Amino acid sequence: MDSKKLTLSNGAPYFEHQDSQTVGPRGPVLLQDFILQENLAHFVRERIPERIVHAKGSGAYGTFTVTHDISQYTRAKLFSKVGNSCRMFARFSTVGGEKGSADTARDPRGFALKFYTEDGNWDLVGNNTPVFFIKDAKKFPDFIHTQKRVPKTNLKSATMMWDFWSLNPESLHQVLILMSDRGTPYGYRHMHGFGSHTFSMINSQNERVWVKFHFKTKQGIKNFTDEEAVKMAGENPDFAQEDLCNAIENGEFPKWTMYIQVMTEEQAKDFRWNPFDVTKVWSHDDFPLIEVGEMELNEVPVNYFAHVEQSTFSPSSLIDGISFSPDKMLQGRLFSYPDAHRYRVGVNAHQLEVNRCPFAVNNYQRDGFMADSSHYQDQPNYHPNSFDDLKPDPAYKSYEYELDSAHVAHYNRNDNDADHYTQPGLLYTKAMNPEDRASLISNIVGSMKGISGPKREEIINRQLCHFFRTNIELGMKVASQLNINIDANMMNHSK
């Protein structure tokens, strides 16, 4: 059997891969050695801009299977009957660190899913937490800057993190989750996933309900303690990547059960909080989990860069029967995510294997960097025209609805929705056991000890007021371990 020939990018075979062409054995290298030029030129262009957030991640292919009927809520073809299935791709990630950072860093974890359905690709882009730090996308760049590096020193800073959080009490719910052991999950297989935002489903009768998506790990929740996470960061900063790859290669395919919560439009009007506020959760007692299906990851991508690094996800990748909501953070992501992909990967990123819809894609988008015309070839690039048979299908007409108000303004995001403490308080008293609370306090104290500079006392006291408002015991224990004397003034501010 003939072996394959080594070739250049144009397919021409060549032999001299190890030695440059020179003038004599010790002479200068010639500019005409185009083999050297091509290999070096490609090498320095092997990387694309890393993601601003979610830069360090792992991915795998798998299958999603519908196990329970939810067709009463959505007309999406994927959910039209029990037993339906589709191929999918999942990418898990840390959020704040760079591409070379440690997998075990204290951070939320991205939980991004791409379902390759017959009605197009559906992306559900969430986290391993049901809430987020902020409720308006306008605040997102400022928040992420505090999770990155100080411009002068290029060092991470506990001071700027806690300064921002103490000035933005809406972050408290997520901060308590982050500072618990849930902030350092044991790899990606042992954590839940959430769509986090409120989405909508529309059924065949053109009726809409609000939904939240949940993915519960079938491997069981498992977290590192802070000490274990720090130790593992030094021993194996790629722990989560290795854990996921090894499990799949060994046939221990990780699985998650998908659930939804459903809220009617009438229930949304009477809900205690803004149902579209991503810093809040819906009580499972009031809105119980409804089982939908199972996701299994069973295939490690053959090339990390081509599939995991070049994968793109966006909440705007929706399919008929699943739509968005007025969630301000979600609305911002509908723009920012596809915009990031156009910058990072290119305007034709959707043509790459990992992002490509395996079913029909018919539109009039043409050209741009890395355009591949193998699908549309010489078809018209305008509509309407007299030559192709593409027709907009009225069955996919968008859901029509009335808005509650026609008044345009920059509304304060916290108007009539300034309760930042009840749900974090319930998290602390109801969802956490004594061991969880002890770890939470220890992790908070360890982080806040890093606050420095002339505003140190001001920042700590401001954050302690939030903890006191959440739960007196929480505030007292954090203050005690930080050696802060609690005065009456602070207690009065917390009431």
Burial label for 457, CB within 10 Å (0-12, 13-18, 19+), is exposed
Does residue 489 carry a catalytic annotation?
no
Helix (H) or strand (E) run with residue 380 in it: none
Return all residues near 409 (Cβ < 8 A) that are at least 6 apart: none
Of residues 10, 17, 127, 363, which has the active-site annotation?
127
For residues 44 and 294, what is the distance between their CA atoms, to the nearest angstrom?
42
170-to-297, 421, 456 alpha-carbon distances in Å: 35, 8, 21
For residues 482 and 464, what is the distance between their CA atoms, to the nearest angstrom?
10
Return all residues near 386 (Cβ < 8 A) that are at least 6 apart: none
Token couple for 232: 């593992």
Handedness of CA 189, 190, 195, 201 (dihedral sign): positive
20-to-15, 31, 45, 175, 386 alpha-carbon distances in Å: 11, 10, 20, 56, 56
Return all residues near 178 (Cβ < 8 A) that are at least 6 apart: 106, 107, 108, 129
β-bridge pairing 85-94 and 57-66? antiparallel
For residues 240 and 286, what is the distance between their CA atoms, to the nearest angstrom?
35
Burial label for 15, CB within 10 Å (0-12, 13-18, 19+), is exposed
The answer to whether the bond into 384 is cis (omega within 30° of 0) is yes
DSSP 431-466: I--HHHHHHHHHHHHHHHTT--STTHHHHHHHHHHH
For residues 450 and 459, what is the distance between their CA atoms, to the nearest angstrom?
12
Of residues 10, 42, 54, 493, which has the active-site annotation?
54
Percent helix, percent strand, percent coil in the chain, to nearest 5:
30, 15, 50
Return all residues near 176 (Cβ < 8 A) that are at least 6 apart: 424, 427, 428, 440, 470
Contact 104, 84 (CB under 8 A): no
Which residues belong to the active site? Answer: 54, 127
